[in-house]
Structure 1
């Protein structure tokens, strides 16, 4: 399949990439259905970092450099020890209403973790979800509720604001981060439509103007997000003005991040769709790259 000449293919032949992170001069990725975390250099050389049997997703790092990775299906956060072994860092099963999903880790090592809220892949009825905070010692606290599929979590460079995309909510939300890691009240960072009725997944998806999935901040305070229903990545300003849109054509876009040596490379996770059975059976996921004018900032 030919792709738009503005894109380059960094790596392909995987199942479904999520949670791209630029760290240590490499792009780190979770591949859902081969159950592995990999990292890739800019020449496309791949190194496996870890196997996560229950499906990896969000990633971040503790202040001492140890990797944290979400284990989706058993609703845990795992920690990679210096010898490479994965151990349980936190168990979210008491607070997560569905698969654990995206995560951002702050400078103090506190992880903010979202979840689906319901059984998305099994055809469950949509429900709102909570957001969990995992402290560096592994203790778990619920810090926000009533979110419409929290996803694409980011922390501003000053460490004071958490920004969370709500994939099924036609909005991006923001929270003040207090000194103890607790969050202030939810506020709109941007909205572009009403909250959908939580009747069934097709109805919800049909009510979305855009569905912010994996996302990243830039140095001007804008958010790049992958629109999970729009085959595009969007650069949006606070308040909702769309500053730039890049179509991914026939491929869906499900996450993105900014990185590279100068922070101006946009890495986009693409695949034909997000349906579990189709992605498990194929090797059609790829990372596309393109250059943008404003570098990345904040976390992840």
Structure 2
């Protein structure tokens, strides 16, 4: 894996600022033009960090005797949220109103009850893209490079259907700035893949954009104004820039080499489990899982995480693309 080009200095985890306090598994983060941040909240919804630093929690009622377990979240124009529910046994996508009302949006697809659900992404054409990482129970059985049973669901005017299957632990996805391709992180398949989006919403064959090596488990995914991609790697706390040609450079890393080697060995020996994700292996960062570009110039990087109660923020070397929700309140 290459080092950053000379004009892009490597970022220091020790220099990261902090935003928010007392957060609960802020795995996914959204930023808006107004300066608000919205974070997944494991207590059952979304926490909003206002520009003045105050916080508001929007928590919903229980689903099947369990509070919502938001992994991916999306902000809609009317102020409500979409929640990808990472339930203990079941998943689905739910709409959460700010007064706590919860309505199911999708619980089954193609005759399948949705397993714990990872991510939900609205696009500019009003469609929803949803990822499910694995069909394995427990999900840790999917933490293997030889398991590929994740999939992508599309909801559009025709309804909901699986449009890509057989993926190596499907994680965050994005529709590129031209609307031509769906890009998908395969965490334990260790690759960034893409699919051409056809006019009817169906997808072309999978193309591999980048493969990742030891210690990299791609999770979060964002695109910058140059058209390049930014990957957050769980466990190794890496922030990686991936060019459209697949070239990679690590801009940030915070991992203890010995512990990272131990996780890598467990992965190669098919022994990787929750304990490898639920233990902090960095000195400063707490298992970063996503990236949101924000700030007035879209050059502040807000890093979601699995284990911290605050967001690390870094000054990015390039601006991000404005997300679809950029002008939402």
Both structures adopt the same fold (TM-score exceeding 0.5): yes
The reply on whether 1:166 has 2:186 as its aligned counterpart is yes
Aligned to 1:114: 131
For residues 97 and 144 of structure 1, the distance between their equivalents in structure 2, rounded to whole angstroms, comes to 15
Q: CA deviation at 1:230?
A: 1.2
The reply on whether 1:90 has 2:100 as its aligned counterpart is no
- Is the 2:45–2:68 contact (alpha carbons within 8 Å) kept by the matching residues of 1? no
Q: Residue 124 of structure 1: SS of its match in structure 2?
A: helix
For residues 50 and 157 of structure 2, the distance between their equivalents in structure 1, rounded to whole angstroms, comes to 29
Q: Within 5 A, what are the aligned runs for 1:1-300?
A: 4-23=13-32, 25=34, 26-32=36-42, 34-51=43-60, 53-62=67-76, 66-73=80-87, 74-80=90-96, 85-92=101-108, 94-95=111-112, 98-119=115-136, 123-124=140-141, 127-128=147-148, 129-135=150-156, 139-193=159-213, 208-248=214-254, 249-250=282-283, 251=285, 252-272=287-307, 284-297=308-321, 299=323
Aligned to 1:199: none
Q: CA deviation at 1:190?
A: 1.2
Structure with the higher strand share, 1 or 2: 1
**RMSD of aligned Cα (Å):** 2.7
Q: CA deviation at 1:123?
A: 4.2
The change in CA–CA distance for 1:16 and 1:67 in structure 2 (over 3 A counts) is closer
For residues 113 and 211 of structure 2, the distance between their equivalents in structure 1, rounded to whole angstroms, comes to 25
Q: CA deviation at 1:180?
A: 2.3
Q: CA deviation at 1:266?
A: 0.4
**TM-score, scaled relative to structure 2:** 0.73
**TM-score, scaled relative to structure 1:** 0.80
Flag structure 2 segments of 5+ consecutive residues without an equivalent. 1-11, 62-66, 255-281, 325-329
Q: CA deviation at 1:225?
A: 1.6
For residues 145 and 96 of structure 1, the distance between their equivalents in structure 2, rounded to whole angstroms, comes to 15
Q: CA deviation at 1:83?
A: 6.3
Which string of whole-angstrom CA distances, capped at 9 and with x for unpartnered residues, describes residues 145-197 of structure 1?
1111111211112222111111111210011122222211111111235xxxx
Name which one, 1 or 2, has greater alpha-carbon Rg. 2
The change in CA–CA distance for 1:125 and 1:218 in structure 2 (over 3 A counts) is closer
After TM superposition, which residue ranges in structure 1, 4 or more long, deviate above 6 angstroms? none
For residues 98 and 50 of structure 2, the distance between their equivalents in structure 1, rounded to whole angstroms, comes to 21
For residues 78 and 198 of structure 2, the distance between their equivalents in structure 1, rounded to whole angstroms, comes to 22
The change in CA–CA distance for 1:61 and 1:16 in structure 2 (over 3 A counts) is closer
